[in-house]
Amino acid sequence: MRTVYRTAGGSLALAAALLLFCIAPAGAEPRFSFATTPGKLPKDVVPRHYALRIVPAPTYDRFDGEAVIDIEVARPVPVIVVNAAELSFKSVKLRASGGGETSLAPSVDPRRETVTLTPATAPIAPGSYRLSIDYSGKIGKHPQGLYQIAYKERDRGRLVDKLMLATQMEPVQARRLFPGWDEPVFRASFDIVAVIDAPLTAVSNMPQSRVELRPDGRKEVSFARSVPMPTYLVALFVGEMDLLEDSVDGIRLGIHTVKGKRERARYAMEATKQIVRYFNGYFGEPYPLSKLDQIALPGGIGGAMENWGAIAYNEGRFLYDPGEDSLRQQQAAYGIIAHEIAHQWFGNLVTMAWWDNLWLNEGFASWMASKTTERFNPSWGMRLRDALWKETALAEDARRTTHPIQTPVENDTRAMDVFDSITYAKGAAVLRMLEGYLGEDVFRAGVRGYMRAHRFSSTTTADFWHHLSAASSQDIGKLVAGWTEQPGYPVVKVLQQCENGAAAVTLAQERFTLNDPGAVPLAWNVPVILADGAGARRTVLLEREPQKLGFERCGAMLANAGDTGYYRSQYDDRNFGRLVPALQGLPAPDRLRLLSDTFALAQAGRVDATRYLALVENLGAETDRTIWDQVTGALRFLRELIDSRGDQAVFDRYIARLLETPFARVGWDARPGEAADAALLRRSLIEALGRAGHGAVVREAQSRFAARAKKAIDPAIRPAVLNVTGRYADEATFEALLERMRSATDMSDKWEAQAALRQVRDPRLLQRLMELMLTDELPPSDAVFNLTHIGEDSGRVEIVWRFVLEHLPAILAKASARGRPHVLPDAASAFSDAARAEELIALTRTHLDATALYQAEKGADWIRLKAAVKAREARRAIDWAQARLGPAQIGSREIPPPLPVKERPSPRNGEKG
């Protein structure tokens, strides 16, 4: 849940943005209307208030519930239809405001996740009613509805198993906790009561209003009435927790952790105070609740959830201890906190009416988190990291399976399909461009008007355009709708012709695609910033027709200077030849953009992969870790297309030769006065060199792992050291990593150990690991994730694929309903043979329902792309590598054997090593 696309500052970026939004397709969506908002549920019965009473069983596997819902019936209706999933109904009664009561008969539709409530006689007349439902439900192990989290706590040197309860409602899981109107357009207030064991803590959206002890030793915890909100924001957490408290701008702040971790929440608290204060000022609407709790969960969700007033995080993403954790952990914590708190306005105060406008939540929160991180932590260089993150959207947006930012969601159970990089990263890029077009002050005025007009209500994208139009005195909807309603993006082709020292440059655009020859031709208004070798810049709007412009000097001509545009650039051979030696002198955003575009062009078959490799060879003294991350990712992509073991060894040695130089500059250990992100570069290079089998790096990683009891591994490089050690593990090392996973009491430690185990290449150990994942050793979601990613991480995709198919029923049974569509695509993702794509689709049709086909098609499309690139580029990449290695370097690769690993006692509470 990181962020976002950025524009350059100053008049140049403004000039580019002013040219940006001149043409838009017809048919932009209308402004919000409750009656026309999509959804399964009829709009003639609406909830106004829920009173919920939740009583978990002591075994934490089921609960009893009571829901008393005040409703308004707008016209005579024969039935009431609400959402419910895996709930058992005991009684349903409807009482009119005049006092009459009748029983309703429930009829459950498990496929649609609805229940129809039918009176015995006449239709239900218009008016106000109270709907009372007694029911029961399941408490599962997956993060959907009310679920349990199993974790370990160290108590006086012993590991103790613990359980806590948490909720995850977004997008459509509230119906697993209570029957109701589980669509975002239906807002209502909530009174929540939970009956729990007396020593435990309960946290919900609002402050506790009353606690009563019961004769049975339990207690009844009541929470104050909430503001009107959609069901997906309802939250309840129960467990043994410590509390860190503070306040900001009159708002009570609380961070809840499991026992013993409160002190590690202090950084998160300081970040929260800074962020809330800034957002209160920026939005012009103060945070509307009296408290903001944040809960650090020891498992369950992998990221975070913006429950109003009770934000949930996986503790591995949220907690940061300056004495123990790395800069990467600090950056991740700040970014995710800013993202989730931004949702308290974008999403909670103002909510998208339906899932087709999810970007109004996620694109906005991503953009705002990036803006905030950059404002308060300028030394982190997040602009460049965001540019690399934007690449995930550019890659997905070029494929056959792409979709517009605003994309129809016909069925609420398909809502998870749009939680992707296009919604997040491309959505944030559009907002950044808009802000540059209007200027920060005008843009903020539009945001404030939007918040003020629609607080505690729902919107569509057209509502946001309306308020930006009012603030700017321009028709923003007409100008910009194409960027959210049209899929994909262009490649700008730059042709330079030189005569008498002057340059004539021709710009033309076409839709950029990856292995999608049948894509519909589209055109955009593209703001192109051209920079020549002398530093002169020109900003033009490229429309459907090509444009020609002149420069006084001929030289290396760069498009998208400053990386302000959402497009690719392609150069004629002569101009590219000028850019290659000029690479080192370009600003970092331009170096990254040139590398990223060139590699994407090679994937698309527009240029050879050797064009990209020539750029990499000219990086020289490059020290930026983001640029090296782009390079190592691209080299890994090419390496995984090579089938022959001998050719793999050649390309691995080529990778090692490329990376030895930057690694020699940073070394294994921090040096006085080094740049803040040197440690992050160090970690990336150790990982890449170890994966390539660099003997010295592998031996040093093994040595540091073996000595960890005497000298703790530097947290900045520990994940890389563990991954390299795991990749070449023998049985003793494998057992040590298993013990590390089993004894971990922090999620970050557990994740590190699991990641290292997924690297294991020894087939026998790999078999043991996969069999372990079929047991109850790990929570089911974690087990399924590991099983479906072992193949890619270890490089043993064929072994793992066979295992997954042999045990597919058991794996699908472990997966959650929302996770099942990802099982086969994730397990197959490392393949690069087109036949595997067809196999993936066939298996999905056989073993899963139609809702899984979209993810399968995305996975198959990725495999087909790799197969196409392999057919064109694998041999060229191998030949390139061979030509640049000396004869002594092309010999057979020999990985050093693992060092012996001594047994060590389990670490003390909080100790890392």
524, pLDDT greater than 70: yes
Average pLDDT over residues 447-451: 98
What are the tokens at 49? 């208030």
Residues shown for the chain: 913
d(CA 874, CA 279): 50
pLDDT at res. 413: 81
Q: What is the rounded end-to-end Cα distance, in angstroms, of the chain?
A: 28
Average pLDDT over residues 358-374: 96
Of 820, 750, 826, 738, nearest to 781 by C-alpha is 820
CA-CA distances (angstroms) from residue 270 to 245, 254, 266, 284, 370?
Answer: 11, 11, 6, 22, 18
Q: Is 6 left (phi over 0), alpha (psi -120 to 50) or beta?
A: beta
Neighbours of 891 (CB within 10 A): 12
Average pLDDT over residues 576-599: 94
138, pLDDT greater than 60: yes
Please say whether the beta carbons of 625 and 381 come within 8 A: no
Band (pLDDT 50/70/90 cuts) for residue 28 is low
Band (pLDDT 50/70/90 cuts) for residue 890 is low
Give the largest CA-CA distance in the chain. 96
Band (pLDDT 50/70/90 cuts) for residue 519 is very high
- The percent of residues above 90 in pLDDT, for the chain, comes to 83
pLDDT at res. 435: 87
908, pLDDT greater than 50: no
| DSSP character string of 398-453 | TSTT---SS----SGGGGGGG-SHIIIIIHHHHHHHHHHHH-HHHHHHHHHHHHHH
Burial 725-753 (b: 16+ CB within 10 A, else e): bbbbbbeebbebbbebbebbbbbbbbbbb
d(CA 1, CA 318): 12
Average pLDDT over residues 424-428: 94
Beta bridge partner(s), residue 258: 241
Q: What is the pTM of this model?
A: 0.93
Strand segments (E) across 512-563: 526-531, 537-542, 547-551
| DSSP character string of 823-862 | HHHHHHTT---HHHHHHHHHHHHHHS-GGGHHHHHHHHHH
667-697 pLDDT per residue, tens? 999 999 998 889 999 999 999 999 999 999 9
My answer on whether omega of the bond before 207 falls inside 30° of 0, hence cis, is no
pLDDT at res. 833: 96
22, pLDDT greater than 80: no
d(CA 701, CA 183): 51
d(CA 395, CA 398): 6
Please say whether the beta carbons of 544 and 566 come within 8 A: no
Please say whether the beta carbons of 25 and 482 come within 8 A: yes
pLDDT at res. 889: 62
Of 203, 315, 237, nearest to 60 by C-alpha is 237
Beta bridge partner(s), residue 150: 163
CA 77 centroid distance within chain: 42
Q: Between helices 427-438 and 10-18, what is the axis angle to 10°?
A: 100
pLDDT at res. 900: 42
- Work out whether strand 350-352 and strand 457-459 pair parallel, antiparallel, or are unpaired: parallel
d(CA 638, CA 877): 8
Q: Which amino acid is at 789?
A: H
pLDDT at res. 98: 83
535, pLDDT greater than 90: no
d(CA 646, CA 517): 34
pLDDT, greater one: 258 or 532? 258
Q: Is 896 left (phi over 0), alpha (psi -120 to 50) or beta?
A: beta
> Which residues, in sequence order, are CB contacts of 828 under 8 Å at separation 6+?
797, 801, 836, 839, 840, 859, 863
Q: 3-class DSSP state for residue 709?
A: coil
Whose tokens are 């048919």? That residue is: 27
Average pLDDT over residues 764-784: 96
> Which residues, in sequence order, are CB contacts of 802 under 8 Å at separation 6+?
none
Whose tokens are 């099942």? That residue is: 820
CA-CA distances (angstroms) from residue 88 to 65, 146, 868?
Answer: 10, 15, 51
4, pLDDT greater than 60: no
What phi, psi does 223 have (nearest 5°)?
Answer: -115, 150
Average pLDDT over residues 202-206: 98
Average pLDDT over residues 512-533: 90
507, pLDDT greater than 90: yes
Mean residue pLDDT across the chain: 92
What are the tokens at 433? 């461009």
d(CA 482, CA 848): 35
pLDDT at res. 26: 40
> Which residues, in sequence order, are CB contacts of 281 under 8 Å at separation 6+?
none
Please say whether the beta carbons of 327 and 335 come within 8 A: no
> What positions carry a catalytic annotation?
340
Neighbours of 51 (CB within 10 A): 17
Q: Which amino acid is at 97?
A: S
824-833 pLDDT per residue, tens? 999 999 999 9
d(CA 97, CA 458): 28
pLDDT at res. 909: 31
Q: Which amino acid is at 419?
A: F
Please say whether the beta carbons of 630 and 390 come within 8 A: no
Lowest-pLDDT choice from 13-22, 270-279, 534-543: 13-22
What phi, psi does 257 have (nearest 5°)?
Answer: -125, 165
Please say whether the beta carbons of 428 and 3 come within 8 A: yes
Whose tokens are 């198919």? That residue is: 805
Please say whether the beta carbons of 397 and 487 come within 8 A: yes
> Which residues, in sequence order, are CB contacts of 761 under 8 Å at separation 6+?
727, 728, 794, 795, 796
CA-CA distances (angstroms) from residue 853 to 110, 681, 788, 792, 840?
Answer: 20, 39, 17, 21, 10
Please return the burial class of 571, using the count of CB atoms within 10 Å of its CB with bins 0-12, 13-18 and 19+: buried
Of 338, 204, 334, 331, nearest to 277 by C-alpha is 338
d(CA 578, CA 402): 34
d(CA 193, CA 793): 45
Q: Is 804 left (phi over 0), alpha (psi -120 to 50) or beta?
A: alpha
The dihedral over CA atoms of 139, 144, 147, 148, expressed in degrees to the nearest 10, equals 130
CA-CA distances (angstroms) from residue 602 to 177, 558, 568, 638, 873?
Answer: 49, 18, 12, 11, 8
pLDDT at res. 99: 82
Average pLDDT over residues 840-867: 97
What phi, psi does 287 have (nearest 5°)?
Answer: -50, 125
Q: Is 551 left (phi over 0), alpha (psi -120 to 50) or beta?
A: beta
199, pLDDT greater than 90: yes
pLDDT at res. 156: 87
